[in-house]
Amino acid sequence: MITIDAVSQTFKGRSGPVEAIRDISLTIGEGEFVTVIGRSGCGKSTLLRMIAGLLKPTAGSVTVAGSPVREPRRDVAMVFQRPALLPWRSVEDNVMLPVEIFGWRKSEYRPRAEHLLEMTGLSGFRKRLPHELSGGMQQRVSLCRALIQSPKVMLMDEPFSALDALTREELAVELQRIHMDLGTTIVFVTHSIQEAVLLADRVAVLSSRPGHLRRVVEIPIPRPRTFGHNAHMEQVAGISAELHTLLLSDDHLQASPQT
Amino acid sequence: MTESRVWSNAVLPTLGVIIAVTLWWLATAVFHIDPFYVPSPADVVETFFRTPGFLLQESWITIQRVLIGFAVAVTLGLVIAVVLGSSRTIERMALPVLAAVNAIPKVALAPLLLVWMGFGDSPKIVMVILVSFFPVIVSTMAGLTSTPADLHELARSLKASWWQTFVKVRLTWALPQVFVGLKVATPLAIIGAVIGEVVNPDHGLGSVIAGSSANSDTALAFVALVLLAVIGVVMFYLVAGLERLLVPWAKAISS
Ligand SMILES: Nc1ncnc2c1ncn2[C@@H]1O[C@H](COP(=O)(O)OP(=O)(O)OP(=O)(O)O)[C@@H](O)[C@H]1O
Ligand SMILES: [Mg+2]
């Protein structure tokens, strides 16, 4: 579904060029859930924005569903770290925004919007304005807004990172359910190991500055997965420890040349 | 909750006005100020009731000039701001010119307006426009350029056209700031009308003031000033009310 082929990104910063991503290649299958994990500033958002067509790679290429990405496409939806809702639009109208912008028939999509809001437990809040909702609810709205496009691919950039731990887990479980129901291909950026392990079929670990692919870790735990007690505690712990080591050792690599 | 609203929206402002008028009264009484220089509130009320019909009529003339001029200034300001906000090149070229026009002392223009347009309404209305359009432009432009980066990114990721982004995101986002400009422009509009009428008197409260100083009728001048203040306050609250109606979300996200 997504082919990332030898992609690099170098920004022209104020004080010379900043190499954000170096030579990443990764193939993501249809319906696969891949999480991208790495330390702050390692280029996770940059990678996602290149897949979304918001940013052109300085080298290499990205292909989605067989065609090279040059600009944003309608079958690829983005969920941002902050909900990015329009404060004057009701929950329902925020969800309908892509429909309006794409020039689709609104009457056709209203039932779908309603269904999505119901699915995410927001049906009672349809007419509310975003500021009347909690952070978790706002993020659910932005998830619904992405889903209304019926995207083949969803790109999520730390969508739950501004939320408290419990809300985060709740939403992660919900997202897993949506993924199982709809079979959307999802690339999910996070810096939480726990989240990465719970959600992913595979975890792509990036190293810092410049970000490149350090390892891809398979998570062979059957779904649906849950936080806390479950039958695969040991496996989860093992993988988490592995990811932890990978991310930590990256720190040593980075620190040694400087000292 | 409604009780505390009534308290803060109606009772407190009224109380403030009563206190201010009382202080004025006390000052004139305690310091034995000659009513020729500063008349007491009682003198002012008495003077008003000497010719209430005439004064209300003159007020109405001024109000009309202010409203027409203000409406034109706001429309013009919004249109100019939108044009400037849509193109960096135009903005760079036009902004210094507009700022220069705004920097001209408007009083100095009044005699010229007399030459160009003669007596009557038009020079006063033009003065209102000249004095009040700039804050509308500046605030609208500030609003148009303040769209948060994540909303821009959202629009881009949806492949929204320039026009769609402008209408659905930027313009609405700018509204709270537009209202800041409108609130600054409201009193300026009244000042503009009065300048026009004092310099080039025919009708209106500014002309009343000009006439009263010719007759050394200080109390009458004060009546006109009080009426202007009342008009200013009413207009300000109307704009604020409109703001609450149109952008109820603004307060919630700024706090
Ligand atoms: N537009 C830009 N111009 C210059 N440098 C940039 C730009 N965008 C990102 N960078 C740099 O590229 C690097 C990667 O940034 P990116 O935002 O992708 O990191 P990230 O992994 O998403 O971090 P975080 O976890 O904090 O969100 C950083 O060093 C950043 O300073
Ligand atoms: Mg990021």
Determine whether the interchain pair A84/B154 forms a contact, defined as Cβ–Cβ distance below 8 Å.
Answer: yes
Domain span including residue B102: 51-254
A60-81 mean pLDDT: 92
Ligand 1 centroid–CA A41 distance in Å is 5
At A236 the pLDDT is: 79
Quick one: average pLDDT of A78-83?
92
Q: Are A48 and A54 in contact (CB under 8 A)?
A: no
Instruction: Dump pLDDT digits (tens) for B119-153.
Output: 889 999 999 999 999 999 999 998 998 899 999 99
Q: How many domains does chain B have?
A: 1
Choice from A8, A11, A207 to test ligand 1 binding pocket (greatest atom count within 8 A of CB)? A11
For chain B, residues with pLDDT lower than 70 are 1-2, 254-255
pLDDT at residue A19, as a whole number: 87
Q: Does B64 touch chain A (CB under 8 A)?
A: no
Say how many C-beta atoms besides its own lie within 10 A of residue A239's C-beta. Answer: 21
CA distance A8 to A50: 10
pLDDT at A92: 95
Please give, rounded to a whole number of angstroms, the shortest distance from the CA of A101 to a CA of chain B: 6
Cα A209 to averaged position of ligand 1 atoms, centre (Å): 10
A37 lines ligand 1 (CB under 6 A): no
Q: Does A230 touch chain B (CB under 8 A)?
A: no
Residue A108 touches partner B, C-beta closer than 8 Å: no
Residues of A in contact with B153 (CB under 8 A): 54, 78, 80, 84
Mutate to test the pocket of ligand 1, among A12, A35, A42, A50 (most ligand atoms within 8 A of CB): A42
Name which residue sits closest to atom 17 of ligand 1, judged by CA.
Answer: A45
Q: Quick one: which atom of ligand 1 is closest to the CA of A211?
A: 14
Written as six digits, the tokens of A10 are: 């170098």
pLDDT tens for A123-169 read: 899 999 999 999 889 999 999 999 999 999 999 999 988 888 888 88
pLDDT at A84: 93
CB-based contact A189:A44 (threshold 8 Å): yes
Identify which has the larger pLDDT, B50 or A249: B50
Tens-digit pLDDT profile for residues A190-247? 988 888 888 899 999 998 878 888 888 888 888 788 777 666 777 778 888 888 888 8
> Is B95 a domain residue?
yes
Q: How far is the CA of A214 from the centre of ligand 1 (A)?
A: 18
The predicted pLDDT at position A220 comes to 84
The answer to whether position B247 is within a domain reads yes
Residues 6 or more apart whose CB falls under 8 angstroms from that of B196 comprise: B65, B110, B113, B123, B124, B125, B126, B127, B128, B206
Question: What pLDDT does A251 receive?
Answer: 53
In a domain, B28, yes or no: no
CATH number at residue B174: 1.10.3720.10
CB-based contact, A97 to chain B, within 8 Å: yes
| Per-residue pLDDT at A121 | 87
Ligand 1 pocket, mutate which of A7, A18, A54 (most atoms under 8 A from CB): A18
* B253 touches A: beta carbon within 8 Å: yes
The sheet carrying A76-79 orders its strands as: A76-79, A153-157, A185-190, A33-37, A202-206, A213-218
Q: CB contact, 8 Å: A56 with chain B?
A: no
Question: Mean pLDDT throughout A175-204?
Answer: 90
Chain B closest CA to A54's CA: distance in Å?
Answer: 7
Distance CA A125, CA A111 (A): 15
At A257 the pLDDT is 45
Closest residue to atom 9 of ligand 1, CA basis: A46
Residue B29 in any domain: the answer is no
A129: left (phi over 0), alpha (psi -120 to 50) or beta: beta
Task: Name the least confident of A69-73, A180-184, A248-252.
Answer: A248-252
> For chain A, what's the residue count?
259
The answer to whether position B94 is within a domain reads yes
From chain B residues 125-154, the ones with a CB under 8 A of any chain A CB are 148, 150-151, 153-154
CA A10 / ligand 1 centre spacing (Å): 10
C-alpha to C-alpha distance for B226 and A53, rounded to whole angstroms? 62
Angle at A158 between CA A65 and CA A92, to 5 degrees: 80
* From B150, B164, B252, residue closest to A101, measured CB to CB: B164
Q: Which bound ligand lies closest to the C-alpha atom of A41?
A: 1
pLDDT at A255 over 50: no
CA of A189 to the centre of ligand 1 (A): 13
